[in-house]
Amino acid sequence: MKLVKNPLGYIFTFIKDRLGDTLSGFVFWLPIGIIFLVGSYIYSNLEDLGRSFLLFLLPENLINPGFGIILWIIVFLLTGIILKNTPAGNILSRLPVLGIFFRKKGGTVITFKRLLNLTPCLFLLSPTCPSYGWIISEEIIKLNDEKARFPLINVYYPNVPTIITGQIFPVRKETVIKLGNPSKEILDLLLYSLRSPENIIYLPWEEENEEEFKKRAEYFGLKISTN
């Protein structure tokens, strides 16, 4: 006797799958709708406010639609030029996160584009906690005009989920392991492991041999083979 599967199971499965599809579409359009609504609200209010100000200077028949927004663009531009070329900008540049918008030209900031061009690494955030970061630069340490045996690596440690905000730690070179994975894979991994790489690839420093590399890996509690 041939068993007939419960048709209700197929119905519930179909409904569950379609609800999942609907939720996926909703999640896709929700931020777009929010951006559109917020953008429309800001545009409308800026246009009305700018138009009201222009009415004090010009006859109404000379003020065309969009002139209010153009006025605000000019105001924002002039304000930015003034802040970046006066001591006021130096004061505002000390603000957390927002300060990067007031820094004068010549400095560098951490951006997604810059991270993609940096070498990712594992470093010891604490004696028992390796963490992901990016190598910014290497500093040569001197003791009494002699080169020390412990160069420091400046490692960028990002905050999650913002990534472009974080701290820079000077870390002893022997406690840093370079990664051969593309930076994009490490970024995806840090964003709550939404997409994880198949493997984490460890690389030795140019000047160390396999034996030294394996010994240094003991800091991380890892068994690493370079074969």
CA atoms within 13 A on the CB side of 128: 0
Asked if pLDDT for residue 206 goes beyond 70, the answer is: yes
> Taking the mean position of all CA atoms in its chain, how far away is CA 26?
25
Please give the full DSSP string across 98-141, using - where no structure is assigned. GGGGGPPBTB----HHHHHTSEEEEEEEETTEEEEEEEEEEE--
Q: pLDDT value at position 226?
A: 45
Asked if pLDDT for residue 48 goes beyond 80, the answer is: yes
Residue 182: asked if its preceding bond is cis (omega within 30°), the reply is no
Taking only the tens place, the pLDDT of each residue in 101-143 is 666 655 556 777 888 889 999 998 887 888 999 999 888 777 7
Please give the full DSSP string across 1-28, using - where no structure is assigned. -PPPPPHHHHHHHHHHHHHHHHHHHHHH
Mean pLDDT of the chain: 81
13 — pLDDT class (breaks 50, 70, 90): confident
Give CA–CA dist 181/209, Å, rounded. 20
Give CA–CA dist 114/137, Å, rounded. 13
Angle CA 211–181–165, to nearest 5: 115
Domain boundaries, the chain: 1-106, 112-220
CB 102 within 8 A of CB 92: yes
Tell me which fold the domain 112-220 belongs to.
Answer: SH3 type barrels. (2.30.30)
- The pTM score is 0.55
